[in-house]
Amino acid sequence: MLDRRVIRDLEGQVAPSNVYTRPADLAAYAYDAWGASGERHLPDAVVFPGSTEEAAGVVSVCAVHRIPIVPRGAGTGYAAGASPSRGGVILSLARLNRILGLESEALRIHAQAGAITAGIHAQATAAGLYYPPDPGSSTTCTIGGNVACNAAGPHTLRYGVTADFVAGITAVLSDGRIVRLGEGGDISASGLLSLMVGSEGTLGVITEVLLRLIPAPRSRSTLAATFTGMERAAAAVAEISEAGIVPAALEFLDAGALDAVRKAGGGNIGGDSAALLIVELEGDPATVGADTEAACTAITRSGASQLQRATEPGQAQRLWAARKAVSAAVAKVQIGKVNEDVVVPRDRVAELVAHTRDLGIKHELPVVNFGHLGDGNVHATFLIDPRIDGERARADAAAGELFETVLGMGGSLSGEHGVGAAKLEYVERQLGPGTVELMRRIKTALDPHGVLNPGKKIPERQSVSSSTASSEAA
């Protein structure tokens, strides 16, 4: 519970109507999309600043009273990053939601951090330009959340992640100081800009972003192919790659994901197929035409059961429908899930998918896999009913075993969702004690009192195992 004087100070920064403290109002801010695992924590207050200066005022009040501050975009994060695990103040960017301007000549767009990502896509498209990062949540997530998590998406394969498109940031530091980094401010500060991207609210509150755009591709074609098994889909990807083609997207659904989409009313996609592969090609018309032919040959040679092809946006949308529907379908067939976004070398995706199936059998949980096959990024999802005793624990055990396998394959525990609180205990296992210590030192330098999103992304000293602690001390 916050002291009444603190609440008055917060109200003094943003007006009383922009400070929530009633439990009924706070309940919706107790979780993000990771809440489907059953984890919830009530904040003490939710505050809605209407400008960078107001956000700075809110941070200053919290800094003085050493109150945790959890920046929050749309709460679509899959790592409990926006969940207030230590209580405190949720700083919502919901009112900072405007797109401030698009400069066609300079190929850039300037937006407040709470602007919805789909709005950025729409404005860029209307100007004949393109903003490629396209998380599956783009109609709801915020651009600030994307920058904070360094979001990726289907088009990462060809164009890169959010970090590749961030030209500038305005942020509030842990003591309420406002900084402008990158092209919008001091260009020599680009290293500092990189530090903020992907920092998951632990180093600063991002209030504005300046993004790079590229010219829109003049032509696009989409292919959807079904296979009797993941191995054949993976073989098709290898053939496409050997043909020298770099698609804009290479997405997949496994048998469990296709089954969930069917059960949720998505029709009998691909009959009884065990894998769906979606390939999108973009560029100038001649290249797209030639690449489409070559990709069709590769897919057919790999033993596809069915191959469909779209050149019109309406047809393409239909081919993408199952991939776009999968998260909602999973939520329809089971109320809870523990979903991971591990990465392995892409020639090992089929092997990993088979391993998750074995884990599902061992821990008696249904498993769904889908994701960005081109990047080796697998959204391995264990379906649970968190109300049933032991289901969450079994899913956590399965996820732990999955992580061991992934690290053994030379992979990574998160391709795009970030660490948040959900993967905190595995960070050191992947990065090693030296890197974790470097992260801690950067955190301490920028946030000496640990008020910005504590307990997220960066393991704190007390969570370090004793053997590691003694080797570091030595």
Ligand X SMILES: Cc1cc2nc3c(=O)[nH]c(=O)nc-3n(C[C@H](O)[C@H](O)[C@H](O)COP(=O)(O)OP(=O)(O)OC[C@H]3O[C@@H](n4cnc5c(N)ncnc54)[C@H](O)[C@@H]3O)c2cc1C
By the rule CB under 6 A, 77 interacts with ligand X: yes
Asked if 33 is part of the footprint of ligand X (rule: CB under 6 A), the reply reads yes
Q: At closest approach, how far in Å is the CB of 346 from ligand X? A: 17
CB 91 within 8 A of CB 205: yes
Please list, in sequence order, all residues whose beta carbon lies within 8 angstroms of the beta carbon of residue 174, skipping any fewer than 6 positions away.
59, 63, 203, 204, 446, 447, 448, 449, 451, 452
| Cα(3)–Cα(200) distance, integer angstroms | 27
152-191 positions binding ligand X, by CB under 6 A:
152-153
149 binds ligand X (CB under 6 A): yes
- Residue choice 29, 78, 159, 320 for contact with ligand X (CB under 6 A): 78
Identify which range of 44-52, 269-277, 284-292, 414-422 contacts ligand X by CB under 6 A: 414-422
Whats the size of the chain, residue-wise?
474
Please identify which residue in 41, 417, 423, 443 interacts with ligand X, judged by CB under 6 A.
417
Q: Of the candidates 39, 200, 231, 282, which one interacts with ligand X according to CB under 6 A?
A: 200
Whether residue 456 contacts residue 81, with contact meaning beta carbons closer than 8 Å, is answered with yes
- Identify which of residues 9 and 416 has a Cβ nearer to ligand X in the complex: 416
Q: In what order do the strands lie in the sheet with 89-92?
A: 19-20, 45-47, 89-92, 69-72
CA–centroid distance for 43 within its chain: 22
Least distance (Å) between residue 462 CB and ligand X? 21
CA atoms within 13 A on the CB side of 1: 4
Q: Distance of CA 274 to CAs 159, 304, 353, Å? A: 29, 11, 12
- Name residues contacting ligand X, limited to 83-112 (CB under 6 A): 93
DSSP percent split of the chain into helix, strand, coil, nearest 5: 45, 20, 35
Complex with ligand X: residue 153 or 304, whichever CB lies closer: 153
What residues numbered 342-371 form the site for ligand X, per CB under 6 A? none
Q: How far is CA 38 from the centre of its chain?
A: 19
Edge-to-edge strand ranges of the sheet holding 99-103: 99-103, 108-112, 205-212, 166-172, 178-182
Pairing of strands 108-112, 205-212: antiparallel
Residue in 35, 43, 57, 81 binding ligand X, rule: CB under 6 A = 81
* Residue closer to ligand X (CB basis): 93 or 269: 93
Report the run of H or E that residue 368 belongs to, with start and end.
strand 367-372
Q: Between residues 142 and 292, which has the closer beta carbon with respect to ligand X?
A: 142
Q: By CB under 6 A, which span of 138-146, 246-254, 309-317, 358-366 interacts with ligand X?
A: 138-146
**Distance spanning both ends of the chain, measured CA to CA:** 41
Stretch that binds ligand X, among 40-48, 144-152, 252-260, 353-361 (CB under 6 A): 144-152
71 binds ligand X (CB under 6 A): yes
> Binding-site residue total for ligand X (CB under 6 A)?
38
With binding defined as CB under 6 A, does residue 340 bind ligand X? no
* Shortest distance, position 294 Cβ to ligand X, whole Å: 27
Residue 414, interface with ligand X (CB under 6 A)?
no
Interface with ligand X (CB under 6 A): 32-33, 70-78, 81-82, 93, 113, 135-137, 141-142, 144-146, 148-149, 151-153, 200-201, 205-206, 327, 416-417, 420, 453, 456
